[in-house]
Amino acid sequence: MNMVDQSSKPSFTDVYGATYLLIEPGSFLLGDESTSGHPTEQPACTVEISEPFFFAERPVTQAQWTDIMGVNPSKYQEGWSAGLRPVEQVSYDDVVVFISRLNERDASTSHLGMVGRWRLPSETEWEYVARAGNTGRWWFGDKDIELDEYGWHAGNSGGSTREVGLKKPNAWGFFDMNGLVNEWCADQWSRSYEGGRSQRPHVTGDAMKFVVRGGSWFTESDSTRSGSRSFAHREKKSDGLGLRLVWEPLEATVEAEPTQAVSSSSIDQS
């Protein structure tokens, strides 16, 4: 399988050294089209990703969370490299506060000649990036024997989280999409895809439960599939539950150069 040339993708790096890559509009099949998978992944439906966004290469780290929130809630803090492990034991409500503080701090900060806002990904955005143009159980195919190269799960984690970005990225350049920590999404939980989905978060489900994606260091390989989905109560905190950021461009700044504008033809992610 050919890897995408990341040097051709518009991207930016934040003050913590985290990189955000542009995700262009496109379409993909959400869920399980074989009807042999979990009922919550059905019925499969085509989703149009109509607006570009920037997706974090890696989950939010303990160092980043601590700088914004002033406290580190994570269980696995030991060692000199703990700051590079994903933050965990954060509830959905904690994440809302974290993102609010980020947006307050960065209200006038521009990237690539644009101002924007931080937010969680929608469930459809998350799966679009996780699949990276592929339709198998994982982006690399259907055999879990290959999973160890790309993610931390119960079979190889050694009983704890690990530093972000140690495994190979997917075809679009994103690390830790399979395992390590489950990641909060902005969608309220519903037990199926009845009625279809769009790029925007699904908000007609259970407002006390939110979608989590990716699987974690203590779950079995099946939970790390691209289409696997679960939920957590908005107040739940777990050492296998963290987050990944999206930066959504809102408008160009006055001083933006014409060559910095993001357009739907900037890159090819096929």
Does residue 266 form part of some domain? no
Report the b/e string of 98-110 with b at 16+ CB within 10 A.
bbeebeeebeeeb
Does residue 90 form part of some domain? yes
Does residue 31 form part of some domain? yes
Rounded Cα gap, residues 269 and 255, in angstroms = 29
pLDDT at res. 69: 98
Does residue 4 form part of some domain? no
Query: Residue 231's domain spans which residues?
Result: 11-260
pLDDT at res. 35: 66
Does residue 207 form part of some domain? yes
Does residue 138 form part of some domain? yes
Total number of domains in the chain = 1
Report pTM: 0.91
CA-to-CA dists, residue 26 to 7, 112, 132, 149, 267, angstroms: 20, 22, 11, 27, 11
Joined together, the tokens standing for residue 39 give 């009922």
Does residue 154 form part of some domain? yes
pLDDT at res. 267: 40
Over the chain (270 residues), the average pLDDT of each successive run of 10 is 54 95 96 81 96 98 98 95 97 98 95 96 98 94 92 96 97 97 97 96 91 97 95 98 97 53 43
Does residue 6 form part of some domain? no
Domain at 115, CATH number? 3.90.1580.10
